[in-house]
Homo-oligomer: A and B are copies of this chain.
């Protein structure tokens, strides 16, 4: 049944035979060492070419007791926030000859667990993880012999290097900006508050009110899930309020898309009737009418730093834990009206 032209990949042994040398010599040539005579080096090079030899990472990995595999678990591979991070991670690691085993946990703890075990079985040298669980005490033994960098979130009992963003300050500043614009009733859209990122962002919202001595009308805070339909529903509820908000902050880009649906469906004029600040400076933020003011996260930088932390720790496991917190940026566009005050 097999195609009879199917050529098996050449092995080091075949190359050695073809060149009339030992496998050790081939290995040395491949390694680029200068401990081989020019004559043999040439012969080996020829054989490599003739046989289209490419060393098997399998053999190498087994032999060296480490792999060129890096696992990446994201919680939503369709979210542009994570794909930009993914690109950065790959940009860095591919240069070091690492290959990415990417998996999507879909925010599902059990799926994450399965992926964790699969990556472990594949003996990945390192793991960059967007934690789906909010407590990792159960996973200690699974993770203890892996080099892990957590990004975006900092769950309990996950003792790893982390790269996150100053979410509290981000939302606090955004909220205060809206307050300075004169808004007294500011809506807030959030996902599950047991996940650290959501929690911290919401804390920023609280902090802005606390600092300015204002009360939060609980009706203005929509806590729910984090899909687009959730955002739509949440925003619709705010709009239907007897005393609706004049501004709203959305806790992530997916909720923002849902919220915009509701806003348009109700023919609310932005920013005249409602100002809106979204999270993440996605591709589409500037293609909206009006263009969307957003809290921008340094996505590429998050991925880059995570990859670097990982490389460093794989190199030197004794390093103390490092927790990198990057700054966000409040990008003001027309969805919050003309900028009145520039906060520092």
Contact = CB atoms under 8 A, between A and B. Distances in A.
B67 A317 contact: no
A284 B284 CA distance: 7
Contacts of A318: 1-3
Given A100-B102, A286-B261, A54 B2 contact: no
A31 interface: no
A80 interface: yes
A100 B99 contact: no
Contacts of A55: 121
A344 to B, nearest CB: 29
Contacts of A122: 57-58, 68-69, 99
Contacts of A5: 144
Contacts of A67: 58
A274 to B, nearest CB: 13
A13 interface: no
Contacts of A94: 103, 114-115, 118
A270 B284 CA distance: 17
Interface in A144-172: 144-145
A287 B257 contact: yes
A283 interface: yes
A343 interface: no
Contacts of A114: 94
As for how many copies of this chain the complex holds, the number is 2
Given A100-B101, A257-B284, A123 B57 contact: yes
Nearest to A318: B1
A149 to B, nearest CB: 16
Interface of A: 1-3, 5-9, 52, 54-59, 61-62, 67-69, 77-78, 80, 83-84, 86-87, 90, 94, 97, 99-104, 114-115, 117-123, 141, 144-145, 228, 254, 256-258, 260-261, 264, 283-284, 286-291, 316-318
27 contacts: A1-B316, A3-B317, A5-B144, A6-B145, A6-B317, A7-B145, A9-B120, A56-B121, A58-B122, A58-B123, A59-B62, A77-B90, A78-B87, A78-B283, A80-B80, A83-B83, A94-B114, A94-B118, A99-B103, A100-B103, A101-B101, A260-B288, A260-B289, A264-B287, A264-B289, A264-B290, A264-B291
